[in-house]
Structure 1
Amino acid sequence: MSRHPEVLWAQRSDKVYLTVALPDAKDVDVKCEAEGLFTFSATGDQGHPFHFTLHLYGQILPQGCKTKTGSRNIICSIQKQHKGWWQRLLKTQEKPAPYIKVDWNNWCDEDDEKDSTSDLASDDDVDTNIGEEDGSSEDEGMLYLPDLEKARKQK
């Protein structure tokens, strides 16, 4: 019986990144099909088989899928067929399996991607601190004035 490794995912407008947490994996096999079918299989360090199949939200380009195997994980870069932001990773609207999680270290929002100064989002780039004192300049805070005005009108 195969097991499921932890899978972290992040996206850009043109790619989806899957990081499979499987230290010392052997016999890694990744298949990408145009209709969005992603299949992964490998053998763990103790000989246990790991396997999962994902029906991705949109279509992909199989020739644009790349895999890099490291000592702690396998990183899969999946080329989207059509540039744009997916609402979710999987085609189904059901809650994803518990082994699939968002990769907040590499997550990038649409607005963040337009900023040409950053390649990948880091923990410091996550927008959870909006409105909190974060040491940013007053000019940067001006970006959020329309939201403040809307909030004041709703009171």
Structure 2
Amino acid sequence: MSKLPDCKWAQRNDKILFTINIPNLDPNKTTINVTETSFTFKSEDHELSLDFFGTVDPKQSSWKVGARDVAFVFMRKEVGDYWDTLHKGKKIHTLKVDWDKWKDEDEARDGDLDMSGFDKFDFGGAGAGGFDSDDEDEDDGRK
């Protein structure tokens, strides 16, 4: 019996970033099918089917098999607001948000955060003053 793979997703207004965590995946024993509205993945031990929340462009989408995972970039059919969720249907307990790749919708529109108005983080030693090193030879009366 096939089991659900551990997977993560993130999004931008123009694409969906999706990762299936399966180490040592044999691409020759794996089937991947992407349509405008759905995605299916089947390997020797794992199987996953999704009905996308929106539409993607299968011809512009891509994937890469790595040593530990399969990384997908699903290009959205239309650039626009973020999807509420990755897929329609009941919750998949092995599907998580990829916070390392996630970018908030307002940040995606604004580009990189402008740090030019911020002061340098120079705390002037935070009031610690000069330290007396214990490694220095001092005449403290001990021999």
TM bucket (normalised to shorter chain) is 0.7 to 0.9
Counterpart position of 1:29: 31
- Give the one of 106, 109, 125 matched to 1:111: 106
CA distance in 1, matches of 2:34, 2:22: 19
Could you tell me how far apart the structure 2 residues matched to 1:110 and 1:116 are? 10
Structure 1 residues 94-133: aligned runs within 5 Å: 94=90, 96-117=91-112
TM superposition score normalised by structure 2:
0.72
Q: Does 1:62 align with 2:58?
A: yes
What is the identity, as a one-letter code, of the residue corresponding to 2:22? Answer: L
Aligned to 1:147: none
Distance 1:10 1:28 in 2: 23
Bigger relative contact order, structure 1 or 2, given CA contacts below 8 A and separation 6+? 2
TM-fit CA distance, 1:24: 0.2
Superposition map of 1:1-155 within 5 A:
1-26=1-26, 27-34=29-36, 36-43=37-44, 49-84=45-80, 85-92=82-89, 94=90, 96-117=91-112, 137=118
In structure 2, runs of 5+ residues without a counterpart are 120-143
> What is the CA-CA distance between 1:62 and the residue it aligns to?
1.0
Does structure 2 retain, via aligned residues, the 8 Å contact 1:30–1:67? no
TM-score normalised by the chain length of structure 1: 0.67
Amino acid at match of 1:37: S
Structure with higher Rg: it is: 2
Structure with a larger share of its residues in helix? 1
- The RMSD of aligned alpha carbons is 1.8
1:113 and 1:30 mapped to 2: Cα distance? 29
Offset, 1:137: 3.8
Q: 1:28 Cα shift?
A: 2.9
**Which aligned segments of 4 or more residues in structure 1 are displaced greater than 2 angstroms?**
114-118
Give, as a single letter, the amino acid of the residue that structure 2 aligns with 1:42: S
